[in-house]
Amino acid sequence: MRFMCKLSLVCVFSSLVALGGTAQAGVLSAEAGGPKQHERAVREWAAEKERASHERPDRPDSRASKPVEKASPKAAEVRTLPGMTVTKESARRQEIKDVTHATLDSRGRQMVVTSEHRDNSQAHKNGAIDIRSKDLSPEQRQSEAKAVSKALGSRHTVVVEETHAPAPRAEGPKAQVNTAYRDGKKGNTRVTEMKASATHTHVQPDVPKDHQ
């Protein structure tokens, strides 16, 4: 399925959830979001990765992280108050925290922020946060993410990052399944290398590169 990116913010979301183009290994449709589908997708992703490693052993990993240039603190300032400077990052993050807290509170949930600013993540440098959701069932986790994304609207993306690993002393692939939501709508689900230390929900502002 192909979407026309009319605005730069839509392009940010499209690249994140891998919408459009032909089917890819590790990418599920928006409807395939259950735990069994996720487990099958992880196995298929691992098998495809193994085949690719034998077919192209000398090809460098295109997913290797690249150093991100640090933004100028002065360029990020939006206004100065007595005794403090409010940056674009802090303003974006506070908006996310306020809306997310109100949404979870209405659902009888306490918001626990597990990560805020991180120098190794452009999304977190732009104002993203991670919140705890590993204590929820898969269905509750997805429902909560959808509700948060609807409350935040079209300028934000919410991603449920679920880690999958074999039981202790058992063999099997390690991966994470990312399911994205925007404006209350579910995007595609993608299987990737496991980078998260635990299952959680990531909430970020959609910021065009020229506004970071």
Range 38-50 burial, b when 16+ CB lie within 10 A, else e: beebbeebbeeee
Q: Are 203 and 147 in contact (CB under 8 A)?
A: no
Q: Where does the pLDDT of residue 201 fall: very low under 50, low under 70, confident under 90, or very high at 90 and above?
A: very high
Q: Write the CA distances from 204 to 15, 44, 93, 124, 167, integer angstroms.
A: 14, 29, 8, 7, 31
Q: What is the pLDDT of residue 36?
A: 73
Q: What is the pLDDT of residues 98-145, one digit of tens each?
A: 999 999 999 999 999 999 999 999 999 999 999 999 999 999 999 999
Q: What is the pLDDT of residue 2?
A: 45
Question: Cα(173)–Cα(44) distance, rounded to whole angstroms?
Answer: 10
Q: What is the pLDDT of residue 83?
A: 53
Question: Cα(11)–Cα(51) distance, rounded to whole angstroms?
Answer: 31
**Which residues lie below 8 Å from residue 198, measured CB to CB, with a gap of 6+?**
134, 163
Q: What is the pLDDT of residues 133-187, one digit of tens each?
A: 999 999 999 999 999 999 999 999 999 999 998 878 878 888 999 999 999 999 9
Q: What is the pLDDT of residue 184?
A: 97
| pTM (two decimals) | 0.67
Q: What is the pLDDT of residue 48?
A: 80
Q: For residue 61, what is the DSSP state?
A: -
Residue keyed to tokens 């303003």: 91
Q: What is the pLDDT of residues 46-81, one digit of tens each?
A: 778 778 777 765 555 444 444 444 444 443 444 444
Q: What is the pLDDT of residue 42?
A: 78
Q: Where does the pLDDT of residue 210 fall: very low under 50, low under 70, confident under 90, or very high at 90 and above?
A: confident
Average pLDDT value for residue range 5-30: 46
